[in-house]
A = this chain, B = another copy of it.
């Protein structure tokens, strides 16, 4: 579930996605009514694909923003009006008649990459996502690490400089203030030369990181410089994670996945090699998302699988 759309997916423990539905996030102002609508669409999705509801063992919900997982409550999501303190878990359980688990989106995403994506087979996996902000999820020893208030893995706020660029979170010098989409777009609005490929791709609109990636593919000098800066700060964040966690796999979603090997993954690996111990590098893989466009589906499915397992224990 996101601020603009809801993606429903039906799948099994083997990772087969059987059915899918996407629709605009209902935001009537009354989260109970909205959840009722979502539950009805879930039931009708199963029906349309001739999957008997009694075969559904559990549901998993990937949600933006801070949440109280034990209580199944979404706290204060920035992009979901009327959903503050919504008892999403309990209400969906009563509407769907199955156990329902909720996780924040970065935690759900790392579960998906660990179970079905680039982190398959590894014990220790970190997933980094770079969209408006920068988020992360951590699996260690095959277990999701949530920390206090599900706040572990807030890698977007790793301090790059003690007193550096202002961040949307109110602090200064956070990684997100250098490579988050919102901060980067503000920078691009100020600095994009009118004759650059980035401006051409933006075609009069505000330039975004996506335009940078598109222009860099054509060899645009400004775009390549911007990506180099992005890769540098991203590598810095990965080095911090490397020394704290010594993970086996760091999975990079969104922008790095879109930019690909030559423009992002290879340069990031090279920069990480400059600063991380050889022993830690040798065993660290830095990879693009293995779930790709299906990540939201696998994220929900992974939470559902974990919820079914917990219910069985």
Contacts and interface: CB of A to CB of B under 8 A. Distances in A.
A155 B243 CA distance: 6
A275 B161 CA distance: 10
Contacts of A159: 236, 239-240, 243, 275
A246 B280 contact: no
Contacts of A241: 244
Nearest to A144: B141
Task: Report which residue of A66, A147, A152, A239 has the largest number of chain B beta carbons within 10 angstroms of its beta carbon.
Answer: A147
Query: Can you tell how many copies of this chain the complex includes?
Result: 2
Contacts of A173: 275
B152 A244 contact: yes
A151 interface: yes
Given A141-B145, A244-B244, A277-B169, A236 B162 contact: yes
Contacts of A248: 148
A173 B275 CA distance: 9
Interface string A244-260: 11111000000000000
A211 interface: no
Contacts of A246: 146-149, 151-154
A280 B147 CA distance: 9
Contact of A240 (B158, B277, B279): B158
Interface string A125-166: 000000000000010110101111101111101110010000
A87 to B, nearest CB: 20
Given A171-B275, A236-B159, A236-B162, A151 B280 contact: yes
Contacts of A6: none
A284 interface: yes
Interface string A280-305: 10011000000000000000000000
A113 interface: no
Interface string A218-249: 00000000000000100010011101111110
A155 B158 CA distance: 14
A124 B140 contact: no
A129 to B, nearest CB: 15
Contacts of A284: 148
B247 A151 contact: no
Interface in A151-210: 151-155, 157-159, 162, 169, 171-173
25 contacts: A124-B148, A140-B147, A141-B143, A141-B145, A147-B247, A148-B247, A148-B248, A148-B279, A148-B284, A149-B246, A149-B280, A151-B280, A152-B246, A153-B244, A154-B243, A154-B244, A155-B244, A158-B240, A159-B240, A159-B243, A159-B275, A162-B236, A171-B277, A240-B244, A244-B244
Of all A-B residue pairs in the complex, the 4 with the closest CB atoms, nearest first, are: A147-B246, A151-B246, A152-B246, A148-B283
Interface of A: 66, 124, 138, 140-141, 143, 145-149, 151-155, 157-159, 162, 169, 171-173, 232, 236, 239-241, 243-248, 275, 277, 279-280, 283-284
